[in-house]
């Protein structure tokens, strides 16, 4: 499969474009107006040095634009500025970000999109994929496991405290439905370990696919039988007992949850 990569608009591109649109004929003139050393400005406009929030504030004033527009190419909203990439976060924090490839997936694994690893502020971060479709904690929904809406950064050191799985076998899914309340609520974010897909006699919370679609449920193997029981924490939902394992596709185990407070 071939991919065509399109060049994204960068802060250096915007800096040059806004300077020319303002009628400022040279970088040296803009550097003088902004009180920025000329050599530093040249590094910003050439892309050899990342533009920071502090520098953007200094340069945006003579350009007659907001520093957010110069730095991110977008204005703020009532909820603040949306940070979509590690580079944007690093620029806002005045830090540099470097990338290294994630370890290659195991040959037998055909799971989710691979994780990406970045280094920022002296820490290593794993950018784990977030699937656009919600995992249903109710009747169930379908999910396109290739549809990654965005990524969430977790400190790699912290990830290792909750899972020893390769990073490419971890992903994030949003919960929808009330069958697992009060343990899981609609809108909760759950971290899934795709490697843990073999339930045992002690129940755990898993993402499973059945004839009803995708669900988040407690799953356990019935003692002495090759059958599965699927349980809900909400008493309004009846247990599903004596299920044939062939009828259930266990996608992975929930190993962490995140929740918004006060919503």
107 lies in some domain: no
Is residue 144 within 8 A of residue 222, CB to CB? The reply is: no
Is residue 150 within 8 A of residue 109, CB to CB? The reply is: no
Position 197 pLDDT exceeds 70: yes
Together in a domain, 222 and 136: yes
Identify which of 79, 248, 239, 261 has the alpha carbon closest to the alpha carbon of residue 185: 261
Together in a domain, 50 and 132: no
Domain that holds residue 145: 116-258
pLDDT at 117: 79
pLDDT at 136: 67
Rounded (10°) angle between helices 27-34 and 38-46: 120
210 lies in some domain: yes
- Give me 190's structure tokens: 């759950």
pLDDT at 52: 79
Query: Does residue 130 sit in helix, strand or coil?
Result: strand
Q: Cα(41)–Cα(177) distance, rounded to whole angstroms?
A: 52
Q: Is 214 exposed, middle or buried (0-12, 13-18, 19+ CB in 10 A)?
A: buried
pTM above 0.75, yes or no: no
102 lies in some domain: no
> Where residue 186 falls among pLDDT bands split at 50, 70, 90?
confident
Which residue in the block uniquely carries the two structure tokens 């994630």? Answer: 102
Q: How many CB atoms lie within 10 A of CB 116?
A: 19
Out of 95, 125, 154, pick the residue that ends a domain. 95
Out of 60, 95, 130, pick the residue that ends a domain. 95
Together in a domain, 253 and 123: yes
Is residue 159 within 8 A of residue 167, CB to CB? The reply is: yes
235 lies in some domain: yes
Together in a domain, 141 and 243: yes
Q: What is the pLDDT of residues 71-95, one digit of tens each?
A: 878 776 554 445 555 455 555 544 5
Out of 64, 95, 126, pick the residue that ends a domain. 95
The sign of the dihedral angle between the CA atoms of 87, 77, 80, 43 is positive
Position 124 pLDDT exceeds 70: yes
212 lies in some domain: yes
CATH number of the domain to which 200 belongs = 2.10.109.10
High-pLDDT (> 70) share of the chain, %: 72
Q: Cα(47)–Cα(34) distance, rounded to whole angstroms?
A: 18
CATH number of the domain to which 43 belongs = 1.10.260.40
Is residue 135 within 8 A of residue 184, CB to CB? The reply is: no
Position 16 pLDDT exceeds 80: yes
Rounded (10°) angle between helices 38-46 and 53-63: 100
Taking the C-alpha atoms of 241, 242, 246 and 249 in order, what is their torsion angle to the nearest 10 degrees? 20
Together in a domain, 74 and 26: yes
Together in a domain, 49 and 131: no
Identify which of 204, 198, 184 has the alpha carbon closest to the alpha carbon of residue 135: 184
pLDDT at 152: 83
Q: What is the pLDDT of residues 145-179, one digit of tens each?
A: 556 777 888 888 888 888 888 888 888 888 888 88
pLDDT at 43: 87
176 lies in some domain: yes
Q: What is the pLDDT of residues 22-77, one digit of tens each?
A: 999 899 999 999 888 888 898 889 888 888 778 888 898 999 998 888 887 877 65
Q: Which of 5-9, 17-21, 82-86 has the highest mean pLDDT?
A: 17-21
263 lies in some domain: no
57 lies in some domain: yes
Together in a domain, 153 and 61: no
Q: Cα(174)–Cα(134) distance, rounded to whole angstroms?
A: 5
Q: Mean pLDDT in the chain?
A: 76
Structurally, the chain folds into a number of domains equal to: 2
Identify which of 195, 186, 202 has the alpha carbon closest to the alpha carbon of residue 234: 186
Together in a domain, 127 and 25: no
Together in a domain, 129 and 68: no
pLDDT at 214: 75
pLDDT at 105: 42
Together in a domain, 61 and 185: no
> Where residue 141 falls among pLDDT bands split at 50, 70, 90?
low
DSSP at 161 = H
Together in a domain, 72 and 127: no
pLDDT at 236: 92
Together in a domain, 125 and 182: yes
């Amino acid at each position: 499969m071939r991919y065509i990569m399109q060049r994204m608009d960068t802060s250096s591109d915007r800096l040059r474009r806004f300077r020319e649109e303002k009628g400022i004929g040279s970088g040296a003139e803009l550097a003088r107006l902004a009180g920025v050393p000329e050599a530093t400005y040249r590094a910003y406009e050439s892309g050899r040095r990342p533009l920071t929030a502090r520098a953007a504030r200094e340069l945006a004033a003579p350009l007659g634009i907001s520093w957010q527009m110069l730095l991110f190419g977008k204005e703020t909203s009532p909820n603040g500025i949306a940070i979509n990439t590690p580079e944007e976060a690093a620029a806002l924090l005045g830090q540099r970000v470097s990338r290294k490839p994630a370890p290659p997936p195991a040959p037998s694994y055909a799971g989710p999109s691979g994780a990406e690893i970045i280094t920022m502020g002296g820490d290593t971060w794993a950018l784990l994929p977030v699937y656009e479709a919600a995992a249903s904690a109710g009747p169930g929904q379908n999910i396109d496991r290739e549809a990654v809406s965005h990524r969430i950064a977790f400190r790699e050191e912290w990830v290792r405290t909750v899972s020893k799985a390769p990073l490419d076998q971890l992903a994030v899914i949003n919960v929808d439905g009330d069958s697992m309340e009060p343990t899981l609520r609609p809108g909760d974010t759950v971290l899934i370990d795709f490697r843990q897909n073999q339930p045992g006699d002690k129940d755990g919370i898993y993402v499973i696919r059945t004839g009803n679609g995708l669900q988040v449920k407690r799953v356990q193997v019935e003692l002495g039988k090759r059958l599965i029981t699927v349980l809900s924490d909400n008493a309004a939902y009846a247990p599903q007992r004596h299920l044939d394992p062939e009828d259930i596709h266990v996608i992975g185990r929930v190993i962490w949850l995140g929740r918004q407070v006060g919503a």
